[in-house]
């Protein structure tokens, strides 16, 4: 275990498979305490050199070490479900960057651990960059952090045909009753617009305290839901054609006050300054503490297949 050269300074620490054939589930169960010790310090561990042949074995590993894998209800990115509890990584076009974020930090309930299995690395690029959420917080001006911490973050999602993720995919159901019950249970305000439209609103945390380390971390997706995250030409077209109130994703401070573009720029600079990466290898298994480490995806060429699971 340690910072090997191929980790390129990533926050992820590498734990290599022992020589000879070894059952990864058995090994992981025997080394749970070692894995957890790395996660609470580095926030991410890369298990390298093991054989994980399929999604079923991946599921068994997550279940044995992290508990029952969760579904991706109220998800914000397009994914394909391989089997219950196992999804493909976000299916955005290969030439696009997925900016760093903590999974489902735009909600009040989130997975504590993320699991990434690299079935096939890209021919070029396609890394999963990482950044320490504690260090991101430390880079932000205290007055900015205090403003967010006091008010929280208000997220608005406008589900419209042909724009972003359809509500049936986001909620993994086409039943309006199930969606309404989910929203009520999770404190999400909702409004149906005709037969195909839906608007959800929820005020969530901006900063949280880690339950095990007691450290404070930056934990929200204001920088992703804000229109300042869009390319300038795309933002201009969308705002002119839809109006700012109908953009698929919107964000304000918790009290409804707009967040200035300059604030979002400063937040994104903090992420950029802390971003590290490593090159994927086939069968790599990356485990992330979702509170301590943010993740993203770099553009790539060729085929790439990464499976994802979430546990609590």
Give CA–CA dist 132/43, Å, rounded: 7
Using CA of residue 4, residue 8, residue 9, residue 14, what is the dihedral sign?
Answer: negative
Q: Which pLDDT value is given to residue 158?
A: 96
Give CA–CA dist 188/103, Å, rounded: 18
Find out whether 158 and 250 touch, Cβ atoms under 8 Å.
yes
Side-by-side strand order, sheet with 98-101: 98-101, 293-297, 130-132
Pick the CATH number of 5-92+108-123+278-311 from 3.90.230.10, 3.40.50.2020, 3.60.130.10, 2.60.40.1170: 3.60.130.10
Which segments of 231-260 does DSSP mark as H helices, in order? 232-242
Q: Mean pLDDT of residues grouped by 10 in the chain (312 residues)?
A: 47 90 88 94 95 91 92 87 90 93 96 96 97 98 98 97 89 96 97 94 98 96 96 94 94 98 98 97 96 98 96 90
Structure tokens given for 2: 């340690």
Pick the CATH number of 134-270 from 3.60.130.10, 3.40.640.10, 3.40.50.300, 2.160.10.10: 3.60.130.10
Q: Which pLDDT value is given to residue 3?
A: 36
Structure tokens given for 295: 């993740």
Q: Which pLDDT value is given to residue 80?
A: 86
Instruction: Give ranges for CATH 3.60.130.10 in the chain.
Output: 5-92+108-123+278-311, 134-270
Q: At residue 63, what are phi and psi to the nearest 5 degrees?
A: -65, -40
Structure tokens given for 272: 């950029």
Q: Which pLDDT value is given to residue 9?
A: 64
Cα 50 to its chain centre, rounded Å, is 24
């Amino acid at each position: 275990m340690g910072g090997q050269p191929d980790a390129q300074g990533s926050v992820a620490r590498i734990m290599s498979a022992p020589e000879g054939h070894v059952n990864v589930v058995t090994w992981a169960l025997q080394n749970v305490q070692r894995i957890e010790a790395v996660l609470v310090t580095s926030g991410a561990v890369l298990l390298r050199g093991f054989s994980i042949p399929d999604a079923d074995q991946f599921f068994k590993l997550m279940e044995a070490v992290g508990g029952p894998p969760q579904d991706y209800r109220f998800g914000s990115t397009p994914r394909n479900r391989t089997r219950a509890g196992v999804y493909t990584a976000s299916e955005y076009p290969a030439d696009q960057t997925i900016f760093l974020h903590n999974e489902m930090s735009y909600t009040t309930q989130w997975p504590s651990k993320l699991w990434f299995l690299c079935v096939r690395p890209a021919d070029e690029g396609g890394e999963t960059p990482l950044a320490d959420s504690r260090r991101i917080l430390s880079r932000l001006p205290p007055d900015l952090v205090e403003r967010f911490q006091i008010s929280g973050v208000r997220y608005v999602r406008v589900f419209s045909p042909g724009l972003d993720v359809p509500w049936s995919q986001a909620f993994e159901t086409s039943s309006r009753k199930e969606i309404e019950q989910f929203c009520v249970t999770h404190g999400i305000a909702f409004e149906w617009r005709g037969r195909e439209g839906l608007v959800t609103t929820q005020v969530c945390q901006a900063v949280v305290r880690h339950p095990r380390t007691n450290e404070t971390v930056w934990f929200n997706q204001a920088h992703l839901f804000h229109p300042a995250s869009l390319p300038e030409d795309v933002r201009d077209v969308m705002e002119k054609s839809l109006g700012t109130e109908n953009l698929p994703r919107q964000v304000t401070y918790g009290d409804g006050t707009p967040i200035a573009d300059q604030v979002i720029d400063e937040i994104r600079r903090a992420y950029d300054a802390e971003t590290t990466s490593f090159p994927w290898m086939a069968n790599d298994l990356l485990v992330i503490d979702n509170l301590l480490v943010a993740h993203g995806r770099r553009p790539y060429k060729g085929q790439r297949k990464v499976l994802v699971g979430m546990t609590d």
